Structure 1
Amino acid sequence: MSNALKAKELLMRAVECDQLGRILEAQTLYTEGIAQLMQFVSGEPDDVKRKGFLTRIKEYMDRADAIKARINGKLMLGEVVSHVSIEENDTGFDYDQLFGKYMDDKTVEIMLEEPYMTQNYQYQNLVRFLELAATNCPNLKYFRLITKEYQDAKNPDQQRTNLGQIKADLDRRNVAVSIKYEDSLHDRKIYLSNGFIIKIGRGLHFYKASNPMYSIGLVNYKFRKCLQTDVDIWRNSSAAT
């Protein structure tokens, strides 16, 4: 597929997602579509045609900027609706108990900011979170993960391979996925498109390892001992789509 045709397809999907209120996915599609169109325009020898394309690109960039402003507005914290303090070695806290009730059929997009996604248990925690999303959010259409890029000298592609497997599985379930790497990321936050924002001091990774491994808590995390952390659920009424 040529850059022009690919750009057209991406931008048409971006407009459609924008109209449906799926602004996280629209932002990704606008960015990808504009990049494809820029590549095409750079090779256009006709000055008149190139000027026309640049005008269209400016229009799409304006739309993308408007989307970014909307997203920033939705990420502004409103009021705290729940606060939970988890002490060292506490048990009885799994994802469902902590914030499952805020993940519902009105959640069509999720953005997870989780800096650390490098170890096996961290990928497992991500999968457990996505299992909860698949259970509680039947209308989920888009998932964006923002994390730090990590390269192991022995397995330099392991992170992308593991996240690629998760992405492929969600794709098969008709959930579009975007994975963005930001080396400066330090915040941990979960944004739900129904207006709730979940902030966990340690992100998803506040569980201690099952010890011994084959004991109660290996599969059901409510039996796992926890690290000390705080969980705050915020509600921004203007964030509901």
Structure 2
Amino acid sequence: MSLQVAGNVLLKAVELDNKKRYTEALLYYKEGLQLLLDLLKGDVGDKRTSLRKKAEEYMKRAEEIKQIVENLKQEGTFHEQIHIENNATGYSYEKVFGRFLDEDVEYVEIEDPYIRAYHQCQNFVRFCELLVKKCNKLRTIQLLTTADGTEQQKWLTDVTSSLAHHRIHLNISYSETLHDRQIKLSTGWIIKIGRGLDYFKAPETKFSLGVFETDFRTCHETTIDIFHSNNVRNI
């Protein structure tokens, strides 16, 4: 792994840090630091001292950011915003939600009026797959959406049955007036996406990159707002 690759990752971390997108910045600091540490294990000659110094500086900043995030959470003032531009790529559910999903998540509440059409229900399955993979203590998913006929009912029944095999209960309710789109985690994170889970554009063909790996999918323009509330544990 080259020093340039590590440098590019850490530059991205600093960029996100400056924009106060702290939770994203932490991911890049962690990745970049690991790359630097891997380089230090090899033969880097006279660069060893300077690389070690840089690694210590980035480690210190990463620890400072962790404390900033924790302070903002405790104050109830945490807010990050991500704007996805039209036709942007690299915004899979793993990229958007992954850093908030861990073994502390026991309950997830999803409000999205557009879990109705086939592709929207498929998106919901993708999101559930990520939850199961990342949250090994997850036991309940609450979905609030709008009703749209028997096909939707069948698809969501299949999802319910599949989740039950993982000892996760999917509770579905419907609203005719639902408009808001948000995801709440029992750990306090609240993620609001203007388009809900349906922000991917369709792949060009069924054999194009992006059919399965959604980081390759182009996206519709949307805004993601991330908050934290200590009261969410009580939902």
The aligned counterpart of 1:190 is 183
Q: Give the structure 1 partner of residue 114 of structure 2.
A: 116
Q: What pairs up with 1:48-59 in 2 under 5 angstroms?
A: none
| Match of residue 67 from structure 1 | none
**CA-CA distance at 1:120 after TM superposition:** 1.4
Give TM-score, length-normalised by structure 2.
0.65
Q: Say which of 191, 194, 207 aligns to 1:214.
A: 207
Contact map agreement 2:140 2:168 (CA 8 A) in 1: yes
Question: 1:142: Cα distance to partner?
Answer: 0.4
How far, CA to CA, are the matches of 1:121 and 1:128 in structure 2?
10
Match of 1:95 in 2: 93
Distance 2:196 2:78 in 1: 17
Report whether the alignment pairs 1:126 with 2:119.
Answer: no
Alpha-carbon separation, structure 1, partners of 2:111 and 2:153? 16
Q: Where has structure 1 moved over 4 Å in runs of 4 or more?
A: none
Number of paired residues? 159
- In the TM superposition, 1:1-241 aligns within 5 A as 78-151=76-149, 157-240=150-233
Match of 1:40 in 2: none
User: What displacement does 1:213 show?
Assistant: 2.5
- CA shift digits 1:29-88 (9 cap, x unpaired): xxxxxxxxxxxxxxxxxxxxxxxxxxxxxxxxxxxxxxxxxxxxxxxxx43442110010
2:218 is paired with a residue of what secondary structure? coil
Q: Which runs of 5+ in 1 are unaligned?
A: 1-77, 152-156
2:206 and 2:164 mapped to 1: Cα distance?
32
CA distance in 1, matches of 2:122, 2:96: 18
Gaps of 5+ in 2: 1-75
Contact 2:87 2:220 in 1 (8 A): yes
Partner of 1:79, secondary structure, is coil
CA RMSD of aligned residues (A): 1.2
Deviation at 1:240, TM superposition (A): 4.1
TM-score by length of 1: 0.64
- Cα pair distance change 1:201/1:139, threshold 3 Å: same
CA deviation string 1:126-153 (max 9, x = no partner): 01100110111100000110000112xx
